[in-house]
Chain A
Amino acid sequence: MVLLIADPELGDDDVTERRRARRATWPYVLRRLAMAPLILLGVSLAMFIMVDLSPNDPVTARLGMLADAEARRQFAAEHGLDDPLPLRFWHFLVDLVHLDLGDAIVRSEPVSTLIGQALPVTVELIGLSLLISLPVAALLGTAAAWKEGRATDRVISTLAAFAQATPGFWAGLVFIQVFAVSLGVLPSGGYVPLSMGFTAWLTSMIGPALVLAMGFAAALTRIVRASMADELAKDYVRTTIGAGVSWPVALGQSVFRNALLAPLTVVGIFVGAMMSVAILVEVVFNLPGLGTLLVTGINQGDLAVVRGAALVGATAFVTVNLVVDLLYLVLAPQSAEAGTS
Chain B
Amino acid sequence: MTAQSTLVSGFEADPPGRGFPPASRLRGPVAHWSALIVLLAMIVLLALPAIWTTSPTALDPSNALSPPSLDHPFGTDQVGRDIAARVLHGARLSALVAVASTLIALVAGGILGAAAATGPRWLSEIIMRVVDVGLAFPGILLAIVLAAAIGPHLSTTIIVLGVLFTPPMARVMRALVFKEYGEDYVLAARLTGTSRRRLVIFHISRNIALPVTVFITITMAEAIVAEAALSFIGAGIRPPAPSWGNIIRDGYTMISTGAWWISLFPGFAVLAAVFGLNRYSEMIGKHVRMR
Which of A's residues lie within 8 Å of B, judged by CB? 35, 38-40, 42-43, 46-47, 50-51, 53-56, 161-162, 164-167, 169-170, 173-174, 176-177, 181-182, 188, 271-277, 279-280, 283-284, 294-295, 297-299, 301, 303, 306-307, 310, 313-314, 316-318
Contact = CB atoms under 8 A, between A and B. Distances in A.
Interface of B: 129-130, 132-133, 136-142, 144-151, 221, 225, 228-229, 232-235, 248, 251-252, 255-256, 258, 260, 263-264, 267, 270-271, 274-275, 278-279
Contacts of B267: 166-167, 170, 173-174
A55 B151 contact: yes
> Interface residues of B: mostly helix, strand, loop or mixed?
helix
A42 B130 contact: yes
Given A167-B228, A167-B229, A283-B233, A181 B145 contact: no
B248 A170 contact: yes
Contacts, number: 141
A125 to B, nearest CB: 14
Contacts of B234: 295, 298-299
> Interface residues of A: mostly helix, strand, loop or mixed?
helix
21 contacts: A39-B133, A42-B133, A50-B146, A162-B275, A165-B221, A167-B228, A173-B252, A174-B263, A271-B138, A272-B139, A273-B138, A276-B138, A276-B141, A280-B233, A283-B232, A294-B141, A297-B148, A298-B233, A298-B235, A306-B148, A310-B144
Given A39-B133, A181-B255, A276 B148 contact: no
A40 B136 CA distance: 8
A306 B150 CA distance: 13
B129 A298 contact: no
Contact of A162 (B232, B260, B271): B271
A170 B145 contact: no
A43 B130 CA distance: 9
Given A161-B279, A271-B138, A314-B141, A177 B255 contact: yes
B288 to A, nearest CB: 16
A54 B235 CA distance: 14
Contacts of B225: 167
Contacts of A161: 275, 278-279
B149 A169 contact: no
Nearest to B228: A167
Contacts of B146: 50
A54 B278 CA distance: 35
Contacts of A46: 133
A174 B229 contact: no
A188 B255 CA distance: 10
Nearest to A176: B255
A51 B141 contact: no
Closest 5 CB pairs of A and B: A276-B139, A42-B133, A272-B138, A54-B149, A170-B267
Contact of B136 (A42, A165, A181, A306): A42
Given A303-B148, A316-B138, 8 more contacts: A43-B136, A54-B150, A161-B278, A174-B267, A188-B256, A279-B140, A279-B233, A283-B233
B275 A173 contact: no
Nearest to B148: A298
B122 to A, nearest CB: 16
A169 B267 CA distance: 9
Contact of A165 (B141, B248, B274): B274
B133 A273 contact: no
A273 B139 contact: yes
A43 B255 contact: no
Given A298-B235, A310-B141, A167 B136 contact: no
B258 A181 contact: yes
B250 to A, nearest CB: 11
A317 B136 contact: yes
A50 B263 contact: no
A166 B271 contact: yes
